[in-house]
Structure 1
């Protein structure tokens, strides 16, 4: 490409924010059991300790307990906001991956998490999707009402120029026509899902000594994905309920999260207008998430068709491993990279394998390392990830 046609990103606004604490916002209320149930339903996580009152009461938890993936639901912005501050004119943002560290404190009804967020920095790379692309990192620390550390997350966003992504059309117009599944195919999908559901419904935890490198986890399937599933997922994130959060910017502090990020006007929150009409700050009706369920907007940002959420994919990853690990299992660390969204009409297969046993880990206990891969019905990889998991001794 000649210099005169070279595509460049204006990153000057990002440079001034690197290393700063950002995004001062918090949810108003503690979570309740129905918040947890709604999350489990949206993520298609039928583990009964997260929704079945009688089953959970008779378990070691003594009642409903949240999945580890629920920490992201108790956050404003599910980790993406500190990875998306700063204005890049003509840009849009999608989620690129998440790394989580957990600290042994499970979330139960009545808990309230508060966050501390920081913009870590960014890398500029060339991608086939959009040419010059920014991979921006944001850190979030989650503590409960007792001041106990629950989790830390490092999120990676992918920021790119809308116009360049549309020129390249990596996600083509065929995405606008979702696949239709026959009754026979849907029956097979349901059977795979049911077999996975029954694989550890009682929550038994494997013994560390019995698990071997090369062991395969039962296959799970999620989907077919649709506008219904995308909206169900979106509305399970507490921050997306009208009036569920507030800005809590300390006096004398500046919060770049309220500023123009360079998105298209119809893909930008209108924080003033939302004070009267909450749809204008809703994200789904109007704002950066509306492309997930609006075909025209999806095509305008280079996505080709309606698509799902990276934060949901990471939750699928955590929930899948936690189901296999049982009630006494615990995920101490997880790392995922998103290769492609889950598009409307597709299904997602989730497969896992034990790739390492670590007798002496940095978490103070033996752990097994599980590798996870998510694929479509056509074998396309949409997520790769790993997790270090404590099992029974």
Structure 2
């Protein structure tokens, strides 16, 4: 009989203790911002079109509110992936964000302080005993301004139990006809048109009501190509871009030997950098190679949890417009976006009030599902809007 225990006891000694920070080597460049908007499939001209941005309230390109995670060296997962769990793997379970006001512009140098927070073990249908581990990331610019706080949740589990419990169904991508693709592109552009319609205008708090629906946003069909585009939007995937951690040993974390590798290894990066690239080797390659996806209990290539989190924040921020902003967002990821599927994002306003700081805010409830209605993520957010 298979031993189904999950030993998480080593995590305790790390909780509450600061880790090595995440630090980019170079200031943010305009093309870093553009690459991020493109990689996250976010066609908001404020983040890639110089002429449009020049006419905005910022007078220049500004990074999306989702951009801080692009400056981290591991999707924000570092503080929720500490301690040895033997024969384990990791996927993302959710992200909670608080935005403190300052925005990121070209020329900013961003650093990230991080502290492991807590964990709990629950029984899941996916992999039996499963560890839900949390950790905090706090992002600052080089002037000391606090930009955002990210509380990430990782899901750490035994890959052998995930395989054994029958998660490897639907291994083939669904097939879309050309006519269906054309229809999807038309529906996707309906969302883009809402960004154009708002332009530099204000979405007034006074004019929205509880029950109002946000425009439907559609992604996909996802593919290995689209997942790769997302991966390359994260700055840490570029050779030499980060002050790499020296306290990271993926095999010591308990990752199965065939998935551990040298991802983000500063010594190996100087010797053979391709071995440090998670797109090809190491724990991240399950996203882009179906064979390795199945090794860790996934049926086929799948997207990144941090990207799903960015889609959610961008969705809220794009609706709010350049005069509004996301104050807080809390997203729970129930399952990844698989290759061949589409992702459909919907949301509605569930509350409208002046908060304790007298800011005009709305609370929004969001759901992300695929074409079969399977829920991939849920989120709630508080968004500040301008008031007449």
With the shorter chain as reference, the TM-score category is over 0.9
SS of aligned partner of 1:125: strand
User: 2:209 & 2:305 partners in 1: Cα distance?
Assistant: 30
**What are the residue-to-residue correspondences of 1:181-220 with 2, within 5 Å?**
181-201=176-196, 202-220=199-217
Which residue of 2 is the match for residue 110 of structure 1?
107
SS of aligned partner of 2:157: strand
Whether 2:259 is the aligned partner of 1:267: answer: yes
**What are the residue-to-residue correspondences of 1:1-393 with 2, within 5 Å?**
5-170=2-167, 172-174=168-170, 176-201=171-196, 202-247=199-244, 255=247, 260-270=252-262, 271=265, 272-361=267-356, 364-393=358-387
User: 1:369 & 1:265 partners in 2: Cα distance?
Assistant: 44
Q: Deviations over 1:118-162 (max 9, x none)?
A: 011100100000000000001011110100000001000000001
Whether the 8 Å contact between 2:37 and 2:48 is mirrored in structure 1 is yes
Whether the 8 Å contact between 2:63 and 2:104 is mirrored in structure 1 is yes
Cα distance, 1:71–1:227 mapped onto 2, change above 3 Å: same
User: 2:370 & 2:16 partners in 1: Cα distance?
Assistant: 37
User: 1:110 & 1:73 partners in 2: Cα distance?
Assistant: 15
| RMSD, aligned α-carbons | 1.5
Q: Deviations over 1:269-310 (max 9, x none)?
A: 323433311121111111111000111110010001110000
SS of aligned partner of 1:218: coil
Which residue of 2 is the match for residue 252 of structure 1?
none
Cα distance, 1:228–1:258 mapped onto 2, change above 3 Å: closer
User: 1:282 & 1:26 partners in 2: Cα distance?
Assistant: 18
TM-aligned CA deviation for residue 25 of structure 1: 3.5
Where structure 2 has 5 or more consecutive residues not aligned to the other structure, the ranges are none
Cα distance, 1:316–1:127 mapped onto 2, change above 3 Å: same
User: 2:200 & 2:148 partners in 1: Cα distance?
Assistant: 23
SS of aligned partner of 2:14: coil
SS of aligned partner of 1:234: helix
User: 2:17 & 2:249 partners in 1: Cα distance?
Assistant: 12
Whether the 8 Å contact between 2:360 and 2:386 is mirrored in structure 1 is no
User: 1:258 & 1:28 partners in 2: Cα distance?
Assistant: 23
SS of aligned partner of 1:358: strand
Runs of 4+ in 1 over 3 A off after TM superposition: 255-259
TM-aligned CA deviation for residue 5 of structure 1: 4.8
User: 1:44 & 1:365 partners in 2: Cα distance?
Assistant: 30
TM-score (norm 2): 0.95
Q: How many residues align?
A: 382
Cα distance, 1:384–1:215 mapped onto 2, change above 3 Å: same
TM-aligned CA deviation for residue 256 of structure 1: 5.5
SS of aligned partner of 1:283: coil
TM-aligned CA deviation for residue 19 of structure 1: 1.4
SS of aligned partner of 2:365: strand
TM-score (norm 1): 0.94
TM-aligned CA deviation for residue 258 of structure 1: 6.7
